[in-house]
Copies of this chain bind each other. A is one copy, B any other.
Amino acid sequence: MRVPKHIGIIPDGNRRWAVSNSMTKDRGYENGLLPGLSAFRYCKELGVKELSIYGFTTDNTKRPKTQRLAFTKACVEMVNIIKKEDAEILVVGNTTSDMFPCELMELTERKKFNNGGMKVNFLINYSWEWDLKTQNKDISYYNTADISRIDLIIRWGGMRRLSGFLPVQSVYADFYVVDDMWPEYRNEHIDMALDWYSQQDVTLGG
């Protein structure tokens, strides 16, 4: 099986899952933490070298306050959970806004935890406009230049769109959609995505 070097994860559907399980929307996010740890460990076991995980965007912060607090808390906890693993963590997002959790400021430069080994990028208070804002005319000008090209994006929750996820790194990515919601994560979702990915022809426009 051809294993992608870099997988992008869009963990969507937390709120819809909460509502369909008779909870308030904000309760969805805490139920996405165990899936995050499982996905990290399974991707590591499979030999994936880099994971980019869509946390929240500056647009998301316009949602009701209870939801905003809930997803911010879940993102910080998710990072703390991965800090206990062998990982090299980077947090990217707009740190100049109040919406950026100050606990994560120290991770805006990549840090190695335990034995390191897998790069994990968390998008926190991220926005594609912020990302593409430029400092110089070079092609490596954007704010996420430390994140490599993505081979495969897996989105949970059934939507077939990128929603502003790393536009530069995603230009050649294959895009796989899981209809189940993120809190319903199972390793078999990754298996299905990788089976499909193995059958794709990588041409990069050539």
Contacts and interface: CB of A to CB of B under 8 A. Distances in A.
How large, as a class, is the contact surface on chain A?
A: 20 to 34
A1 interface: no
A164 to B, nearest CB: 4
A63 B206 contact: yes
Contacts of A164: 171-172, 205
A63 to B, nearest CB: 7
Interface stretch (A77-85, A107-115, A173-181): A173-181
A171 B128 contact: yes
Interface in A56-95: 57, 59-60, 62-63
Q: Which one of A170, A176, A205 has the highest number of Cβ atoms from chain B below 10 Å of its Cβ?
A: A205
Interface of A: 57, 59-60, 62-63, 128-129, 132-134, 137, 139, 141-142, 159-164, 167-168, 170-176, 200-201, 204-206
20 contacts: A59-B206, A60-B205, A128-B168, A128-B171, A132-B132, A132-B139, A133-B137, A133-B139, A159-B201, A160-B175, A161-B172, A161-B173, A161-B174, A161-B200, A162-B170, A163-B171, A164-B171, A164-B172, A167-B167, A175-B175
